[in-house]
Chain A
Amino acid sequence: MPNSTGGIFQTLVAAATDASAILRFQNAFAESIYWDYQPINAGHYQSLNVIVPTVDEANVIDAGGGPYQPADTVHSNFSITLDKDFTNSFIIRNWDEIRSAPHLRDAYIQPKLEEVLRKVNRSIATLVTTTNFPTYTLISGATDDVFDRANLATAWKNLAGAGAPVGDVENMFFVTNPTAYSGMLASTNWIQESIVGINAAQVAQQNARLSIQLGAQVKWDQHIAGFTANKQPGILMHRYAIAGVTVNPISNAEFKTIVFPKPNIPVMIEMGYSLKDRGWVVGMSCQWGVKVARPELGSLVETA
């Protein structure tokens, strides 16, 4: 006996919400940029204003006992075009075969959500280039395929000198590719107890995870591309260096829900029976845009 439509949708909601909480793939950039989720419906290629929080001492005026002198805007306003509409869809011809929510989650929803998020992450990673981050000279390391502590210290100096809040550990990241990350995992500079402390050394050995270094979370990402051939790239950045904007994707489907595989990244999941396809079409869409907002908050490094 086939499921009722309502029952099918409930199964889909259960699978989708559950899957969003257990995504496993590494998407460092999707987690390390500033997302402005605007809960509106917006047309494709529409430009949206995104306010990236800014601290500008010049806003403070010594009034000398006089009146306030307010400015029209106190924050940086970035116009970001909503130029991406990532979709992922599939047909389920016989719903009864996957009527349990765990099976639907494992076989369909979770892999498809991973795919969407991977593509979002790749799009962000392509922005990390010497052209988009020209503020500081590219820092070149002295060792093949691994960064030295001095490389990060120089990048830190760049950001600190520009007034970036380098003490903001929650929002400071050093992202590199797996080659350099594995090099760091094998380098005493990054894992030796006498340098990084016993806890960091333990986590590095047991979980292949580098702890916070120079006030930044150290992450790896498969999508970051090299700046120079045969050299491994990396970027020390504050979250506000890159800004993304997301909206509620437009849908007229009767059955739809929005899930968040990452905070502020909404993915619309909708479903409906298609006579043409002779099955249930399940579609996912993520409508978003991204931009390098504040290049002075990112310093690029590469290995020898």
Chain B
Amino acid sequence: MSEALIASLNQRISALEAEKANLQTALKQARGERKTAIERANGLDAQVATLTTERDTALKAASAAPDDLKKQVSNLQGQLSQRDHRDAFRSAARKAGVKESSVDDLYNLSGLKPGESPADPEHFADFLTAQKEARSWAFDGDSQSQGNGQPAGNGQSAAKIQLQPTTAPAGSGRGVPDRSSSMLKVSAANLADGLWMQANQTAVATASREGRLVVE
């Protein structure tokens, strides 16, 4: 083999070794990049899952919220309507001379409800006019109801009746009051019955002290 050929082959070997080293470096780099890419992909998968959950939650909340708000709005509207209706009634009642303390009672008695009748004071005028006769106790100037808050019979104003006492006042010289209804009558069988006595001993003792005990 000629020297030239040997030199050529050595040169070729050196070139191949250099190429091999380059390839190994490139391979190592490629592996590292692949690993990084895989880790990144995994991280992104987790983020996607989290975001998907958050998105679904947000979608649910977004779709549910209007209903809740609607309910709340409806509720508040109802309260406002009720208040306006009652205020209108109160205004009309004042004009008609209804006592302040009777306004709520009359409103409840009217059976009028917001939504079924407009919140307009004029609307209540007919009802209140009728009540002046039917429920005069609710209006100023009714003598029977003054002081006790109770309606007069048949809605008519009546003169105050002076009730006569049904019993004689104490110490009026009519003797000892009749206590017969409060006497404690005890039979001999009761007195000899242990269970009965245990339950009623205090009552018997009290009655005897007060002079109300009768042994039969």
A residues adjacent to B (C-beta < 8 A): 6, 9-10, 13-14, 17-18, 20-21, 37, 39, 101, 248, 251, 255-260, 263-264, 266
Q: Answer whether A20 and B195 are a contact pair too, CB < 8 Å, given A9-B215, A10-B215.
A: no
Q: Which residues of B are found within 8 Å of A255, using beta-carbon distances?
A: 188
CA distance A50 to B204 in the complex (A): 30
| Closest B residue by C-beta to A14 | B208
**A260→B213 contact, CB < 8 A:** no
Q: Give chain A nearest CB distance to B210 CB in angstroms.
A: 10
B209 interfacial by beta-carbon distance below 8 Å:
yes
- Given the complex, which residues of B lie within 8 Å of A9, measured CB to CB? 215
CB of B196 to closest CB in A, whole Å: 9
How many Å lie between the Cα of A163 and that of B186 in the bound state? 47
B195 adjacent to A13 (CB under 8 Å): no
Question: For the complex, what is the distance from the CA of A175 to the CA of B201, rounded to whole Å?
Answer: 29
With both beta carbons as reference points, the residue of chain B lying nearest to A102 in the complex is identified as B209
Residues of A within 8 A of B112 (CB): none
Q: A6-B215, A21-B202 are in contact. List 11 more A-B contacts (CB 8 A).
A: A10-B214, A13-B186, A13-B213, A14-B208, A14-B209, A17-B201, A18-B205, A20-B205, A39-B193, A256-B191, A256-B192
Across-interface contacts of A20 in B (CB, < 8 A): 201, 205
* A170 and B171 alpha carbons, distance in the complex (Å): 48
B201 touches A37 (CB 8 A): no
Given contacts A13-B204, A13-B215, contact A258 B209 (CB under 8 A): no
Any A CB within 8 A of the CB of B149: no
Write the residues of chain B forming the contact surface with A, with a CB cutoff of 8 angstroms.
186, 188, 191-195, 197-198, 201-202, 204-205, 208-209, 213-215
- A37 near B198 with CB under 8 A, answer yes
Q: Please indicate the chain B residues that have their CB under 8 angstroms from the CB of A13 in the complex.
A: 186, 191, 204, 208, 213, 215
Q: How distant is A284 from chain B, measured CB to nearest CB, in Å?
A: 14
- Among B188, B192, B202, B208, point to the contact of A101 (Cβ < 8 A): B208
Minimum C-beta distance from B158 to chain A (A): 53
How far is B201's CA from A248's CA once the two chains are assembled, in angstroms?
15
B197 in contact with A257 (CB, 8 Å): yes
The residue from A6, A21, A39, A256 contacting B201, defined by CB atoms under 8 A apart: A21
A251 to B192, CA, bound (A): 9
Contact check, A39 vs B194: say whether CB atoms are below 8 A apart.
Answer: yes
